[in-house]
Amino acid sequence: MRKYYLDNIRWITVVIVVLYHVIYMYNAEGIPGVCGKITDLEVQYFDVFQYIVYPWFMMLLFMVSGISSRLYLDNHSHREFISSRTTKLLVPSTIGLVAFQFLQGYVNVALGDAVLKDPGIPLIAKVLICIASGSGVLWYIHLLWLFSMLLVLVRRIDKDRLWNACGKAGLPVLVVLGIPTYGAAQILNTPIICVYRFGLYFFVFLLGYFVLSHDEVIEVLKRWFPMLAATSGVLGTAFCARYFGEVYADNPVYRSVLFVTYGYFACLAIFGGMAKYCDFSNRFTRWMSKRSFGLYVFHYLGISSVALFVARRGILPAPAVYLLSLIAGFAGAYLLNGIISRIPGYRWAVLGIKEEKKNVQG
């Protein structure tokens, strides 16, 4: 049976990512590369939303991807897995940069001002910078493709020995796994582009594959959901109280004990709660799930475009800018997804939609 709670976790998390990026675009915490503060508030207390969701939402998506990889490989070969992941992930994050995402790159670079206005930088260099900057939110699928390829090697070594053992994990084991999760968060973190956290995200991807893909483990999380939710609530409150106002997305905050443990226990609580209460499907959830990838790929262009062409020019008051950014994030993404997903060839380059072979009768 299809695990509908995984579909629901995925699309709900992507919706949270969109909301996060609206707040993030106009944050007052000094995070670079965005429009920045546009209100006249001394303290933007609603910025706390970023601190509430950032420690766990990408960890959660990598865990879901690990589980989904296990479910796919239960019924497909390694060759099919490599082919499907390359088409769905590598193509949009490489060829897609030239085919479409350079537009996002232009907006990103324009928000930074310096590059486009520097007469000393050749035009071709500016074009290449815009293309490279178009990766934006695609960093997630960069890492996911790499982890998927590494998973094939891991499977050839493991031959399901570790996977079978992980099916016996109870609550004490799940709690203790928070320790290596913290350890993984300390290694393989790239400087400058701090979203590429190879250690942490690869570990939680494998955690999804080896541990959380077992129904028995999910039953444990369902049974202990109230305790896990309370624990993550306490840790989240402590994290926000301790670090609000600091740059949460970079060292040392994103390697701190509070950041990692809050993110980890929040993920466990979400899996338990969603499996317990949201393992269902209806017309709305199917519609959202089908378009979640397109929403993720395209949403930031609408938000950042409003920031560049409206917020920067002071055309509208701050509340209207926030609302317009939110609308542009969702409506723009769904519109682009609806159009591009219907264009043969182009949809393969931008969204990794494999072209169906037509049967020719002769």
Number of domains within the chain: 1
Find residue 189's DSSP bridge partners: 197
pLDDT band at 113; cut points 50, 70, 90: low
pTM: 0.93
| Residue at 352 is within a domain | no
| Residue at 353 is within a domain | no
Peptide linkage before 252 cis (omega within 30 of 0)? yes
Residue 119 has pLDDT above 90, yes or no: no
Query: In which domain, by residue range, is 202 found?
Result: 4-347
Residue 359 has pLDDT above 70, yes or no: no
| Segments in the chain forming alpha helices (H) | 4-25, 48-73, 78-85, 91-96, 102-112, 114-117, 123-133, 139-158, 161-166, 171-176, 178-184, 198-207, 215-223, 225-243, 257-277, 283-290, 292-306, 318-340, 346-351
Residue 125 has pLDDT above 90, yes or no: no
% of the chain at pLDDT higher than 70: 96
Confidence at residue 361, expressed as pLDDT on a 0 to 100 scale: 43
Residue 54 has pLDDT above 90, yes or no: yes
Confidence at residue 203, expressed as pLDDT on a 0 to 100 scale: 98
pLDDT band at 291; cut points 50, 70, 90: very high
| Residue at 360 is within a domain | no
Confidence at residue 352, expressed as pLDDT on a 0 to 100 scale: 94
Q: What tokens were used for 250?
A: 């970079």
Confidence at residue 362, expressed as pLDDT on a 0 to 100 scale: 38
Compute the C-alpha angle 270/69/230, nearest 5°: 10
